[in-house]
A and B are shown apart, each in its own frame.
Chain A
Amino acid sequence: MTHDPSRRALLAKTAAVAVSGVAAVGAARAEPLPVPDSNKSLGRPLPPEEYGMPSKYESHVKRRRTDVLVNKQNYSDWSFTPLHQQLGTVTPTGLIYERHHNGVPDINPDQHRFAIHGMVRQPLVFSMSDLMKYPSVSRFHFMECSGNGLTDWLKPAARTVQQTHGLLSCAQWTGIPVSTLLDEAGVSPSATWALAEGGDGSAHARSIPMKKLMEDALIVYAANGEMLRPENGYPLRLFIPGWEGNVSIKWLRRLKLGDQPWHLRSETARYTDPMPDGKWRQFSFEMEAKSVITSPSGSMKIRPGPIEIVGFAWSGKGRVRAVDVTLDGGRTWREAQLEGPVMDKCLTRFRLRWNWTGEPTTIASRCVDSTGYVQPTVADIQKVRAITGFVQHHNGVFPWSINEAGEVKNAIA
């Protein structure tokens, strides 16, 4: 490889340098190092108090609304996590994806109340201060919207992995097991479902099986060590590990126990899967095993040489057992390295070193989870479901094409 300073300078201005920068190492003699200004001047003093923010040089790292299925209002809308800029398994709190049904409410925690009623021995109401006195648990879990991938089933629409897969985040969630509070209210033996309802302007609600609530669901008030952000449900939300995000009701105000599901709009007219013969699949809560390569990914540019392929894998059924990567459009696959710790229902990073020769190709990843379930292709899914309209629960293998110029593009089909 020849030394070409102008080309290197140009590349340094693009996101591609993160992917291809390695290629130039050892190729030529670097320029002499001047002493930087930061070594020769006073730094910024410490203010008496502050909430630290990212460097101004990172101001491009932002949640973004959809640029494909653009809504005409921004109250029932969504924004995506920039997965290609997420460097660990935990999503920075300010970048956790959003899906609201009537905007973000402003709730004073001193006035917030959470009620448990319906088929219980004793209906109870809790203040935030009550709830925060309970022994807490903290768990790392991913959260994914059932509509993640909505626009990209049969032909490319989104250009970046932020838009194709960014209705996905991962955090350390802190709160109380739902079972603890339900047990205090005294669950009727006949109660099999509970309605969870939010205190926002949509009063978003879902029916949730008691079995799951008692198993591992949490009443959450914190994420990543601090109180929830308003857009993530401040001051209180439900968190249902491994299930579609919209059942983890934000701004939670009540759980009402019953002996059958409610069949609300949000579980009939929405969040259901089109199936053959005009049918719809309902209560498809679990987010099945899935993975995506985040680097290199859509809109990046790579150069021939060593490429570190990086991505995320996850499963709502358990742990990631393995991730396979294809570098030749699916003809052959090799197992990628998983970065520990590999946790239950949690984002897991994988990596694979590749020496790109400059030949056009297609790359993709495939997740295998701890139940042995293998991430399907869209073609596999299409055999058993109807892909039309608002298709949900898209966990198909996602291909990125790379052309001779090194440009990476969404290649879904």
Chain B
Amino acid sequence: MRSLETVTMTFATAALLAGCAGNAANPTASSPHARSMMLGTPIVEADISAWNIDVRGPDGQGLPPGSGNARAGKALFDAKCASCHGAAAAGGPMFGTMVGGIGSFKTDKRLLTPGSMYPYAPALFDYIRRAMPLTAPQSLSNDETYALTAYLLHLNGLSGEDAEMNATSLAAIRMPNRDGFIVDDRPDTNAVRCMQDCRPLRTSVPAP
């Protein structure tokens, strides 16, 4: 009976019940209801839209209207990005290259770039929109962001120079590292608490 209940509980309900039951490890815990004040002001999603800038990687949910291609992106990049990232994103005074590295992860010199590392192309749009350029984040228009995304993808050989990137085409790009991730499966070590006659630690100095 109890296990059936557990299976059908929602997260919210589960946490609520856990709070009521008390948590020995944390004497200050109490149920959310006990602290509830209802002081938040209701707001409608439309009034959060200026903040609602996240784009979900796998399906591109949140990608806005607009479009841009690598040709437009190059001009923008030269004007707004190259001073830190270098011409053609090959590395500049502040940051390393954003081009290449595809296929490098099975070598001992992994090169992390948007092309080699991102599993989903919409995440590149998300990051440029939220954080770039460093000196004026969230200043780019949607078309500009699409164009810069298109340029970086093109430099990495992942889209054509004239390919228009928009909400549909960007989400359709298959990134090389799409299947490169595994979810946390730790603990992955199995250290033993040896007290006597243990294997000496590896150190950078010769043993005495």
Contacts and interface: CB of A to CB of B under 8 A. Distances in A.
Interface residues of B, number: 88
B39 A130 contact: yes
A105 to B, nearest CB: 11
Contacts of A364: 201
B138 interface: yes
B193 to A, nearest CB: 5
Given A181-B40, A282-B184, A384-B188, A268 B119 contact: yes
A268 B131 contact: no
Contact of B127 (A192, A265, A366): A265
A330 B180 contact: no
Interface stretch (A160-168, A224-232, A273-281): A273-281
Contacts of B65: none
Interface in A329-381: 329-334, 344, 359-362, 364, 366, 368, 373-381
A151 to B, nearest CB: 14
A272 interface: yes
Contact of A381 (B34, B118, B189, B203): B189
A329 B203 contact: yes
Interface in A68-91: 72-73, 75-76
Contacts of B119: 263, 268
A280 B180 contact: yes
A119 B127 CA distance: 23
A320 to B, nearest CB: 13
Interface stretch (A11-19, A298-306, A405-413): A405-413
Given A214-B12, A269-B118, A378 B131 contact: no
B33 interface: yes
B58 A133 contact: no
B186 A286 contact: yes
Interface in A314-333: 318, 322, 324, 326, 329-333
A210 interface: yes
Interface stretch (B43-51, B73-81, B143-151): B43-51
Interface string A112-134: 00011100001111100011011
Contacts of B48: 115, 117, 123, 125, 254
Interface residues of A, number: 116
A413 B183 contact: no
A334 B26 contact: no
Contacts of B120: 263, 268
Given A123-B48, A260-B58, A264-B127, A214 B15 contact: yes
17 contacts: A73-B134, A125-B40, A135-B34, A138-B28, A181-B40, A182-B12, A203-B130, A216-B29, A264-B54, A274-B105, A279-B182, A324-B193, A366-B193, A379-B202, A384-B188, A399-B201, A413-B202
Interface of B: 10-12, 14-16, 18-19, 25-26, 28-29, 32-45, 48, 51-58, 84, 93-95, 105-106, 108-110, 112, 114, 117-120, 123-124, 126-127, 130-131, 134, 137-138, 177, 180-205, 207-208
